[in-house]
């Protein structure tokens, strides 16, 4: 695995299941940004690998944010495997604006599905064993979108946490 650091559009070489990350510091926007990109296995283990990758990308953040991000990522990876085709790719962008706080963007893409799914969640039957993934994403994320397609599907969300003036670094 190799990474390039420091500039937008950096090139990454990825190995399946092995996260690569890049960091950007000192850009015009004066934010601290890091990006983790990894291929996910096309199988039921995609959710577990995605949760572990998010834990790496968000190491040191508030436990509530980490828990929400892991759950959202697990749901997005599960949906990509269940409804899409390979390849599955996870991207986690972590940005600390100069004003403080934290923004996390999570994107899971897949190779598309022959029968696109609706882009808005519907409530599952009360006793259904599945069908709650996008409802969970909608409840936990500040904003999200799903762009299904036959040649590729992109599920994206953003979690934003404000700076706490009295908070000390962890």
63 occurs within a structural domain: yes
CA-nearest of 115, 90, 116, 94 to 103 is 94
The CA distances from residue 104 to 4, 97, 123, 147, in Å, are 21, 11, 26, 19
Domain interval for residue 117: 20-121+130-161
- Rounded Cα–Cα distance for residues 96 and 167 (Å): 15
170 occurs within a structural domain: no
Which pLDDT belongs to residue 3? 32
138 occurs within a structural domain: yes
Which pLDDT belongs to residue 14? 39
- Rounded Cα–Cα distance for residues 72 and 169 (Å): 25
**Average pLDDT score over residue span 36-49:** 96
CA-nearest of 96, 92, 77 to 27 is 96
Which pLDDT belongs to residue 123? 53
- 79 token code pair: 């949906």
CATH number at residue 55: 3.30.565.10
139 occurs within a structural domain: yes
Q: Residues 110-167: pLDDT tens digits?
A: 998 776 555 555 554 555 444 557 888 999 999 999 998 888 999 999 999 987 655 4
Which pLDDT belongs to residue 139? 92
Burial code (b: 16+ CB inside 10 Å, e: under 16) for 142-165 equals eebebebeeebbbbbbbbebeeee
pTM over 0.75: no
**Whole-angstrom distance between the N-terminal and C-terminal Cα of the chain?**
29
137 occurs within a structural domain: yes
Which pLDDT belongs to residue 126? 53
């Amino acid at each position: 695995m190799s990474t390039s650091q420091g500039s937008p559009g950096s090139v990454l070489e990825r190995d399946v299941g092995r996260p690569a990350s890049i960091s950007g510091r000192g850009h015009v926007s004066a934010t601290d940004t890091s990006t983790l990109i990894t291929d996910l296995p096309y199988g039921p283990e995609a959710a577990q690998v995605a949760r572990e990758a998010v834990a790496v990308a968000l190491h040191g953040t508030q436990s509530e944010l980490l828990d929400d991000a892991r759950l959202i990522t697990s749901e997005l990876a599960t949906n990509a495997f269940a409804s899409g085709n390979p390849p599955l790719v996870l991207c986690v962008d972590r940005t600390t604006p100069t004003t403080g706080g934290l923004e996390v963007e999570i994107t899971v893409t897949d190779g598309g599905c022959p029968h696109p799914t609706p882009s808005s969640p519907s409530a599952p039957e009360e006793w259904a064993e599945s069908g709650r993934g996008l409802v969970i994403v909608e409840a936990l994320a500040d904003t999200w979108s799903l762009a299904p397609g036959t040649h590729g599907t992109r599920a994206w969300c953003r979690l934003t946490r404000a700076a706490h003036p009295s908070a000390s670094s962890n």
